[in-house]
């Protein structure tokens, strides 16, 4: 029988994969995708906990996470395109004007 613990374990694995991706990748777009993967992993845990408790609150929270993620992607990609216009590059290394 698949218990909620299985789903939480899967969400842990996906969250770690996303976190490593954020640390490793240089392309800002791919970094964003990895953040999305982390948010999705958190959603999976929320849904699993909702199933465990037998209430729908977890599913509602997951729904809110999706909305916030959509808003985050819209603004993040707009920032990305404006950086790309200025620097002709999507690498996170090139947006280092405020470094020193």
Partner 1 sequence: MSHSMVLASPAATTTRELAFWILAIIAVVAGLGMVLARRAVHCAVLLAVVMLSLAALYALQGAPFLAFVQVIVYTGAVLMLFLFVLMIVGISAADSIVETIRGQRLAAGVSGIGLLVLLSLVVGHAAIGPASPAKASFGSSNVTGIARLLFTTYVFPFEITSALLITAALGAMVLAHRERTSPKPTQRSLSRQRIAGDHPTPLPGPGTYARHNAVDMPALLPDGSPSELSVSEVLSGGGQMGSPGTTALSAGTSDQENAANAGDA
Where in 11-70 is the site for partner 1 (CB under 8 A)?
12-21, 23-27, 29-30, 32-34, 36-37, 40, 43-44, 47-48, 50-57, 59-60, 62-64, 66-70
Is 42:65 a contact under the CB 8 Å cutoff?
yes
CB of residue 99 to partner 1, shortest distance in Å: 12
Query: Least distance (Å) from partner 1 to the CB of residue 16?
Result: 4
46-77: string of b/e by CB count within 10 Å (b at 16+)? bbbbbeeeeeeebeebbeeeeeebeeeeeebe
CB 31 within 8 A of CB 79: no
CB 63 within 8 A of CB 36: no
* Nearer CB in complex with partner 1: 1/98: 1
> Least Å distance between CB 44 and partner 1?
6
Measured from the CB atom, the residue of 70 and 97 that comes closer to partner 1 is: 70
Q: How many amino acids of this chain bind partner 1 (CB under 8 A)?
A: 71
């Amino acid at each position: 029988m698949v218990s909620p613990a299985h789903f939480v374990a899967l969400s842990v694995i996906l969250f770690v994969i996303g976190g490593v991706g954020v640390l490793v990748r240089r392309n800002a777009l791919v970094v964003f995708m990895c953040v999305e993967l982390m948010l999705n992993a958190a959603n999976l845990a929320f849904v699993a906990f909702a199933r465990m408790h037998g209430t729908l609150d977890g599913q509602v929270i997951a729904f809110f996470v999706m909305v916030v993620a959509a808003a985050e992607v819209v603004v993040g990609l707009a920032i990305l395109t404006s950086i790309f216009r200025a620097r002709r590059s999507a690498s996170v290394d090139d947006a280092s004007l405020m470094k020193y």
